[in-house]
Amino acid sequence: MIFNPKGFIPLVAEHKDEIVSDVIDIAAPHFSISEWLGIKSKIAEIADNLHQQALSTPDTTDDKIDFTKFLYDHVNAAPLTHYAPEWFKEIILYTVALVNTSTHSAIQWGFKSVYQFVCDVVLMTPDWLFEGSWFSDAIIKFTTVNVSLVTILTMIQGIKCIFNRKHTSMKNILKRFPIALSVSAATPLLFTQGIKWLNKLTHFITGLAGGEIASKDVVSIFSTSIMFDFLNVLLMIIFLILVIVQFFPLITFHGRRWFNILIQGIVTPFSMSCYVFDDTRHYFDTWLVSLKDTCKKQLIYAVFVSLLGIVLFATPNPTTATGVISKMILAIGGIHTLAHPPSVLTQLAGTDRGSGMLESVKDMNSKRIAVWNKAKKMKIKSENVAIKSAGILGNVWRWMNKS
């Protein structure tokens, strides 16, 4: 053709209609822009993932959904893409699906990060609090003061014995004092090693749910959403905000638990001095119960967090709009329960109800009102006493003037 006497260009111009027709007939059945970009196969992959996730849900009606047809019908229903070419619809479909998937991945990553932070940081009591030299120095100083305090209290017990008052016998004092002194001296070691073993046990408990989270089959708390609109992004953002709002009371609660166990460690020498004498033994009992409750809280919460992780990450991932919203509500409820523990958990762990910032403010306000009411009552009593005293002084003054 190229060496035709008429020339190449005149020959192409003469047979242009046949050439174009042949090219279209060859290329049309096998080529489209979406196929060239690999979008068509990716849409099929998305539909297959949705189908596999639907099979894992308890609702059998989802198993019968043709997700490929569903996705295309969703795009065809939109006014802007109804009359568009098929390849354009596929590009729009994949772009919207990519945005939804990215949004979900970001939210799921945020929630998983919060969960892992709770397991790895918030639940674990930092052992470095008791490893510093300041803690050992403080215990040594308080133990020295403790010895002086026990000496003074022993003298008081001797005076009580002389006057036949209720007292602690010298035999019991000599028996208990070495124990109190030994525990006070070993406080830094006991608390450091005790916290390490407590953290190991907590890590073992939370690790029971770690397999579910690390499983390849369990990739998220939500599936790829089929809500291809602005509502999807809005719901995900609202969910993340609610999780963060519920996360702050949880941090303050466990921060207070850290502070409590630190204070309990510092006052150990004084608590052990109370152990020596019968009339101060109740202070030691209160300290011991408080210390056990503080440690028990960590273990009870570890069990609770593990159950929460199994429920959120091991339950089937919903693919419907109502399913996604339902699981969001479940996740928010779990975080809220961690920050505001139920009555069963508070009874087991000895946890006070004021675990959140709002409860702390309410507690402070109630104490302020109680102090104010007490001050008002004292003011009224003092006024009555002043009036009666003035009346008595007036009568005395009048009696003296008469005489």
All residues at 6 or more sequence positions from 389 whose CB lies less than 8 Å from its CB, including other chains: none
Co-location of 246 and 298 in the same domain: yes
Angle at 237 between CA 236 and CA 240, to 5 degrees: 90
**Rounded to an integer, what distance in angstroms lies between the CA atom of residue 303 and that of residue 308?**
9
217 and 303 inside one domain: yes
The Cα–Cα gap between 103 and 327 comes to 16
Q: How far apart are CA 175 and CA 172, in angstroms?
A: 5
**129 within some domain:** yes
335 and 251 within one domain:
yes
**pLDDT at site 173:** 87
| pLDDT number for residue 136 | 85
One domain for residues 57 and 199: no
395 is a domain residue: no
What's the structural domain count of the chain?
A: 3
User: Is 382 within a domain?
Assistant: no
What's the pLDDT at 300? 84
Whether 43 is covered by a domain: the verdict is: yes
268 by Cβ neighbours in 10 Å (0-12 / 13-18 / 19+) ranks as buried
Q: Is residue 332, in this structure, part of any structural domain at all?
A: yes
- Whether 65 and 19 share a structural domain: no
Q: Measured between alpha carbons, how far is 161 from 158 in angstroms, rounded to an integer?
A: 5
State residue 381's pLDDT score.
74
Phi, psi (degrees; rounded to nearest 5) at 123: -70, -35
* 210 Cβ contact list (under 8 Å, min separation 6): 119, 309
Is 376 within the bounds of a domain?
no
d(CA 386, CA 402) in angstroms, rounded, equals 24
> Is residue 377 a part of any domain in this protein?
no
- In angstroms, the CA 280 to CA 272 distance is 10
From the number of C-beta atoms within 10 Å of its C-beta (0-12, 13-18, 19+), residue 323 rates as buried
Residue ranges of the chain with pLDDT lower than 70? 1-38, 50, 52-65, 67-68, 74-87, 100-101, 103-104, 107-108, 209-236, 313-324, 338-339, 341-365, 367-368, 371, 385, 403
Nearest to 124, CA basis, from 195, 46, 220: 195
Is there a single domain that holds both residue 44 and residue 186?
no
Asked whether residue 400 is assigned to any structural domain, the reply reads no
202 with 298: CB under 8 angstroms? yes
For tokens 């830094």, what's the residue? 188
Cβ atoms of residues 79 and 131 within 8 Å: no
Residue finishing a domain among 57, 74, 98 = 98
Q: Do 321 and 269 reside in the same domain of the chain?
A: yes
| Whether 340 contacts 356, CB under 8 Å | yes
Angle, CA 131 vertex, CA 125 and CA 135 arms, to 5°: 100
In single-letter form, the type of residue at position 104 comes to H
- Same domain assignment for residues 152 and 295: yes
Residues 151 and 67 in one domain: no
Rounded Cα distance between 338 and 355, Å, is: 10
**323-375 pLDDT tens trace:** 667 777 777 777 777 667 666 666 665 545 444 444 544 565 676 677 677 77
pTM above 0.95, yes or no: no
CA distance between the termini of the chain: 154
Domain range for residue 65? Answer: 32-98
Are 117 and 338 spatial neighbours (Cβ–Cβ below 8 Å)? no
Tell me, yes or no, whether 56 and 1 share the same domain: no
**Which of the listed residues 78, 98, 118 is the one where a domain comes to its end?**
98
* Same domain, yes or no: 63 and 160: no
Place of tokens 């004084």: 270
Task: Name the one residue in this structure whose structure tokens are 């002194």.
Answer: 181
Q: Are residues 24 and 125 in the same domain?
A: no
